[in-house]
Structure 1
Amino acid sequence: MTDEIGWHTRQLQAALRARGAVGRCVDLADCNIDTTAAWHGLVIPGYGRELPDAVLVRGIAGGSFEQVTKRLGVLHALRELGVPVYNDARAIERTVDKSMTSLLLHAARIPAPATWATESAAQARRIAMREMAAGHALVLKPLFGSQGKNLQLVGEVDGVHHPMPDIDARYAGLAYLQRFVPPMASPGFDWRVMVVGGRAVTAMRRVSTHWIHNVAQGARCEPAVLEPALAQLAEGASQALDMDYAGVDLIAAASGPKIQVLEVNGVAAWQGLQRVTGFNIARAIVDDLLDRKLAQARRLAQQSLPLPERRA
């Protein structure tokens, strides 16, 4: 399932062909619910009255609340119909909603920056004032956002004061705030660790002179050794959110836990990471989808088949 056909889909299709499978690109926006069309009530372009053997979610187009709800509903329905979905709608919802990500990481005792989410502008200002008094700055993020877009510092950083913006005008009336983790070197960096099937498989450093380290914002990718501490935290974060595969962003911190999880990406891009690693990420994803997820679904389907009727 993808809203764009490009490098990632070509990589996945090649990995599927190598396993004797065919990958079709379908946009969730083009999938419909029609209870008259087939027993399952779904219309998936290219499949007629049938369903795919498995679904790999590569991208979901943005849209209205109603449109996105329908698209996720199709993924929910596929899972309930026994089609393995990689990552399924529940996992994607946990990572798209950054506040839920933070809550689940906290519940699993995964170290992450202190986080707040509030619909009250007054409460957001009080949090910022309290944090500033304690010597901390904050990062204000859109609840639903990616690629480092629309992130804003709040508080004093390097002698410059950054005021709290109007959350109603720019952040849909909700303040999602994380304690700012200052860079420990110049230029600063964080890590992106790829987790597939619960196992950390490869990593890179994202290096930038700017405090935002996303590749889409100009950071450069460097190879990184997948140290045990990085692997353990990334795997723990993926498990806490019940992910099939995930891109986990981590950062070194001068205070508190030495390494902290910043974000978990449920529809992770890996083109930059692939450039600096010899590990074939698309192949690992496809192998895990077929050998674990699809095989498990087929075993469960066989176990649930009705027993042959006994004759007297």
Structure 2
Amino acid sequence: MTARTLRVAIMTDETGWHTSRLKRALRARGAQGRCVDLADCRIDTTWAAHGLVIPGYGRGLPDAVIVRGVAGGSFEQVTVRLGILHALRELGVPVYNDARAIERSVDKSMTTFLLHRAGIATPPAWAGESLPHARRVVMREAAAGREVVLKPLFGSQGKGLVRLGGSGENGCAALPSLRDYGGLAYLQRFVPPTRTPGFDWRVLVVGGKAVTAMRRVSEHWVHNVAQGGRCEAQPLTPELAQLAERASAALGLDYAGIDVVPCDDPERGAQVIEVNGVAAWRGLQSVTSFDIAGCIVDDLLTRRLARAQAGAPREAVA
């Protein structure tokens, strides 16, 4: 009897380079990948015993899920989309990364809290709805000769970042209205570059292990590739690997892109500035021969799916 082909749903609101790489890696391992938009999924307790409708899977469920994107929307829409991922996990379907981990990593304030709680070096940060308090933070930091960065709480790719405080030639903007930031100020202390041009590191962690890294170099203080940063190969040192692995573990991520910035402060050393739970890796793949999509798929199939299959039985897949 021929074994049934494993079916993996790739949750994404846009197909392209990343989804093509994942589907190819799945095919190479005898599995089938299908792109599904979470916005097209729904809860329907009349449809099947498990109560979910996942397009392309009839009345059944995929064997596993890889999350490549959760589209923005109203609070209610995003809640239900994440709820679908929560429900799949409750039904025993491995979700990579699952909704709990995505919620932790997409919210910069929770990321900061969890990194701080785990004792991981990360710049001091403040998050709150009070505009007067945010202004006091900026003034206090400026008085100490420091700057802070205002970031969208749910932002990515370096969009919407504003440096605040400072003086002289490099003086930066005062705190703007928080209307464009959802009425909330997330402020992170700016870490000055250690050289010109400045750079940071992106370290990819898969299955709890740092597997590859790169430097993102830019004349601008924002180093994201989407903002013009260039990718350079970077040896994965034991220090970088350990820091990234600890950051990923603190948020409970299956795979993660950990952004690390060098620091002149000998007491703090390198610091984690962001953790990406739906990490892109096209730039990283351009400077390494390491097969990133293949590594992600291998970890899903050999660790997460194998662990799920060894556990309690779940709803049968049609």
TM-score by length of 2: 0.94
Contact 2:198 2:220 in 1 (8 A): yes
Counterpart Cα distance in 2 of 1:229 and 1:160? 32
Deviation per CA, 1:150-190: give whole Å up to 9, x if none. Answer: 00000116633323333432211111000000111110000
Deviation per CA, 1:42-92: give whole Å up to 9, x if none. Answer: 110011110000000011111111111110000000000100000000000
| 1:292 to 2:303 alignment | yes
Residue in structure 1 matching 2:217, options 184, 187, 207: 207
Deviation per CA, 1:266-307: give whole Å up to 9, x if none. Answer: 0000000000001000000000000000000011125x99xx
| 1:265 to 2:296 alignment | no
Contact 1:110 1:237 in 2 (8 A): yes
Residues 139 and 157 from structure 1, CA distance in 2 versus in 1: closer, same or farther, beyond 3 angstroms? farther
Residue in structure 2 matching 1:138, options 140, 144, 148: 148
Counterpart Cα distance in 2 of 1:259 and 1:193? 13
The aligned runs of 1:118-157 (5 Å cut-off) are 118-156=128-166
Count of residue pairs the alignment pairs up: 304
**Unaligned stretches of 5+ residues in structure 2:** 1-10
The aligned runs of 1:1-312 (5 Å cut-off) are 1-156=11-166, 159-255=169-265, 256-301=267-312
Indicate the percent of aligned positions where both proteins have the same amino acid: 68
Contact 1:193 1:247 in 2 (8 A): yes
> In structure 2, the residue corresponding to 1:25 is in which secondary structure?
strand
Amino acid at match of 2:299: D
> In structure 1, the residue corresponding to 2:256 is in which secondary structure?
strand
Amino acid at match of 2:270: I
Residues 219 and 225 from structure 1, CA distance in 2 versus in 1: closer, same or farther, beyond 3 angstroms? same
Contact 2:162 2:173 in 1 (8 A): no
Counterpart Cα distance in 2 of 1:253 and 1:113? 10
Amino acid at match of 1:163: A
Amino acid at match of 1:191: W
Counterpart Cα distance in 2 of 1:158 and 1:21? 59
> In structure 1, the residue corresponding to 2:187 is in which secondary structure?
strand
Pairwise CA RMSD? 1.3
Contact 1:167 1:175 in 2 (8 A): no
Counterpart Cα distance in 2 of 1:157 and 1:38? 63
Contact 2:135 2:175 in 1 (8 A): no
Amino acid at match of 2:277: G
TM-score by length of 1: 0.95
